[in-house]
Every structure is written in structure tokens, then in C-alpha cells.
Structure 1
């Protein structure tokens, strides 16, 4: 079993090493392999792969779990397919408001019988949330921080709330 991650990313390398160490006492031998994204792409459909994802948009659930997204770019690289999950995804997309869509998005994870989440098929292993550190001028009050999502400008999401506190 080989776990792939992108080279040059110390966070993913360290995480891969931690995963290997946790699996060893269970009798699971995990080889680690890094490469460029092009190399990872060639291997991600047949091997576990470390990705960095994160979004405040529930469409990320669609991209991870929809059989229609299987193998499209980096979406659903394990070709996960569950007809009930697909139905919940479609119900969420068809809902007239985001409020009416929320229960269907939740049912994607677990609907009491099946789902893509850990109670169901466990189609994706969410490992951690990276906490970002920012160095700022002590005179700047950044206000209440926004949720940190992968690949975003989260620190700037509440720019309108920043205050200069020094006179």
C-alpha cells in the first residue's frame, strides 16, 4: 500500500509519516511516495493520496462523493459510488433554497441507513484542519477570525472589521 503526497510540501510529508506510524501497530505497512502533481495524478485513482481540501460551500460534498464527479480532475479520485448518496446530492441541488437544501447535504454524510461519512461508507478520511499563524502589527485588532478554509484568503474575509488600536 502506497500513500502519495506532493513533493515539496512539508506538512503533507509530516502527515504521511504520522499516518504510516499509526498504521504500523495495526499490522498495515504503508510506503510513502511523493511527486509532482502530475505524478500524483497518475497514481491517485489506485492509491491513497493526501489532498488539501476545505470549503464553506457544500458543493465540496458533491465533488467528493458524486458518482458523476468520479475521476473528474481531482474530484472523487476513488470513484466512490452510492445511489442513495447521489440521490441526496441531487435533492440538495434541486432544493429551492439553501435552507431547504441543508437536510439533504447532511443526509449525504449519514441518513440513518447509509452515507458517505464515517457511519456509512467512510469514502473519504478527513484527517485534520490546519491552523494558520499570522504575524501582525500589535496595533491591529483583526476582530473575530473567519473559518480557515484551504486555499482561501481567510485572514482577509473580515477586513471590514479590522481596527487600528494605537493612537
Structure 2
């Protein structure tokens, strides 16, 4: 857990790393300005709005973000060299392997930044080789942070996770929806526990 949105701390980190504000108001280090292009898939208003929000959040830090959108075929041609907005979320911990393993780098949309860390790779292998899911949990957690390093925000921060989208539904008050599971990106909906629903009105 960390405090999010600390602009003052972000500025201090950039300053300490040698990224200074130039006359144009842009961060610069060794003659290179902090300018980047953020790609996202077109035709999706949520992705567009998130991309706009990222640009707005980075502007006060002196980081200039240009936005580009296109079909996924177009995005694929740019995602290995530019930050790209993805939507992920799964109940399967193998998603960690797909994000952080060098073996998954460049495979379809997995690990597009070609992230690789030997310690993280070792924890992934330990998790996959564990005899059952309960024994695998500590190793999956160590992928994010093992006390010294990891792929999460305390370590390499291999991905910049923006948010978890909350789903809102309008339901008949006579329906008890039961206890649903967290809704993963793209394939799990409120209907997945339909057989648990009950009608409560008489």
C-alpha cells in the first residue's frame, strides 16, 4: 500500500534523478526532454478518457504526453517502444507470469515492454512448480515484492496500474444476487452466478 497522487514527492524524485524543468516548462535531462506518446485502442471511450487523465496528471510534473489511438493492429506496431494503455484483470495468477516473465515477452499482448528480472523469474517458477495453489500464494506475492526487489511499485514498477473499474448495475429489489466473484476484465459478468439468484418477494 502506498499513498497515491503525491505530486510534491513525484517532483522531488524527478529532481533527484536529474530531470530539471527547462525554459519551455518541460523536464529535461542530458539534452533529452520528457516527452512520450501514449497509445490506446480507438473506439473505446473508457480508454480514451483514461489516456486523457494520464496526460492531465503528468502535465504538472513537466512531462508532455501526446495521445495516439488506432486499431489493435496499429497499436501492436507501437506498443513495444511506447507506453500503451491496456485493460487487464484476471482471477488466475498466471496473469502475473504473462506480465512479468521474460518467457512471455512479446507474445501477443503479454509483457510488451520485455520486462525481465531474474529474481522475479525465480519466484514465478516457484509458484508454478508449487504442489498446490495454497503453497503457491507466497511465491506469487513475492513476484510483486520479496522484501528486496520485485515487479510491483516497491521494486521495478514494471507496469503503471491506473485503477480498477467498478461495475454498477440497476437491479430489481426483489432479486437477491447472491455472493458474486470479482468481475474480471472482459469475461466475467454479474450473470456468472445466475444459478445463485433468488426471488425474495412474495
Check whether TM > 0.5.
yes
Match of 1:119 among 154, 173, 178: 154
Matches within 5 A, 1:4-23: 4-23=39-58
The 3-state SS of whatever aligns with 2:38 is: strand
Does structure 1 residue 94 correspond to structure 2 residue 94?
A: no
SS of 1:31 mapped into structure 2: strand
Structure 1 residue runs without a partner (length 5+): none
Q: Matched residue of 1:158: which SS? A: helix
Question: 1:139: Cα distance to partner?
Answer: 2.5
The corresponding residue for 1:81 is 116
C-alpha displacement of 1:99:
0.9
- Which has the higher Rg, Structure 1 or Structure 2? 2
Query: Quick one: distance in 1 between partners of 2:114 and 2:157?
Result: 13
Kindly indicate whether structure 1 or structure 2 has the higher relative contact order, using CA contacts under 8 Å at least 6 residues apart: 1
What is the TM-score with the length of structure 1 in the denominator? 0.96
1-structure distance, mates of 2:196, 2:148: 44
Question: How far apart are the structure 2 equivalents of 1:57 and 1:135?
Answer: 28
In structure 2, distance between residues paired with 1:144 and 1:87: 36
Map 1:42-81 to 2 at 5 A: 42-81=77-116
For 1:120 and 1:38, locate their aligned partners in 2 and report how far apart those are by CA, in whole Å.
32
Deviation at 1:131, TM superposition (A): 1.0
Residue 37 in 1 paired to residue 80 in 2? no
- How many residues are treated as equivalent by the alignment? 167
**What is the DSSP-based 3-state SS (H/G/I as helix, E as strand, rest coil) of the residue aligned with 1:131?**
coil
* Counterparts of 1:39 and 1:75, CA distance in 2: 16
Please state how far the C-alpha of 1:159 moved relative to its aligned partner: 1.9
Query: Structure 2 length normalisation: TM-score?
Result: 0.80
Name the residue aligned to 1:108. 143
Give the whole-Å Cα distance in 1 for the aligned partners of 2:149 and 2:192. Answer: 36
- Alpha-carbon RMSD across the aligned residues, in angstroms, is 1.1
SS of the residue aligned with 1:88? helix
Quote the Cα distance in structure 1 between the aligned partners of 2:156 and 2:65.
22
1:1-27 C-alpha deviation (Å, 9 max, x unpaired): 100011010001000001000000000
